[in-house]
Amino acid sequence: MDTIISKITNFIAESNDISDIYKIDRIRYGVEITIKESVKFIFLFAMAMLWNKLPEFTIATVLIVGIRRHIGGSHCKSFASCFIKTILVYVAIFILSSNIKGTSLTLQVLVSIIVVAVLSRVKYKTRIVQEGTKSQDCKVRFKVLSIYLIILFSTILINNYVYINVVLMTALYIICEYIKKEIELGCCEKAV
């Protein structure tokens, strides 16, 4: 895979007459992420098609892409471990969502309260900006809460317990990853 990434990066850099090492590194990073995420997406999509889980795949992917893009989460050290972890998360969501019949309304409300409580406290952060303004924090909170609530209410309106379970399990996964990342960053910041 590294050979393909290098060839595409070199082609883009040479075609656009780019010689700055930092720009080339940014191109390489973009190409690498695009290829690796595409491989994961295609594999997961094929798996969902084979297992007849396309709606579940779509719900989980919209939540993960829509929310994690804004709040982040923990990251694996290699593509292989990320690939395996992602597959296991989707398999768990596919299997559990179908096998937990009629999640009680109390449990649904409890999970949703936990998810909303965590998402309403997220802060704007990037690799460059460690702390955003109140306005940026509010925008991020509004976006992630909107995504979660729209998907949740859509599945409730459809009245399909499997889809509701997918939303709740995916949201729990997302906030667990977010909390794990925040704990890791907290430990690292204190140590520095």
Task: Give the least confident one: 7-16, 78-87, 122-131.
Answer: 122-131
The end-to-end CA distance of the chain, in Å, is: 35
Give the list of residues 6+ apart from residue 134 with CB closer than 8 angstroms, or none: none
pLDDT digits (tens, 9 = 90+) for 45-94: 999 999 999 999 999 999 999 888 888 777 788 889 999 999 999 999 99
Helix residue ranges per DSSP H, the chain: 2-15, 21-50, 54-63, 69-71, 79-99, 105-119, 134-158, 161-191
Angle between helices 79-99 and 161-191 (to 10 degrees): 140
Rg (CA), the chain: 19
d(CA 4, CA 1): 5
pLDDT digits (tens, 9 = 90+) for 129-188: 566 778 888 888 888 899 999 998 898 888 888 899 999 999 999 999 888 888 877 754
Angle between helices 161-191 and 134-158 (to 10 degrees): 160
CA dihedral angle for residue 191, residue 138, residue 158, residue 47, rounded to 10 degrees: -40
Task: Give the least confident one: 7-16, 89-98, 103-112.
Answer: 103-112
Question: Sign of the C-alpha dihedral, residues 120, 138, 185, 23?
Answer: positive
d(CA 75, CA 60): 18
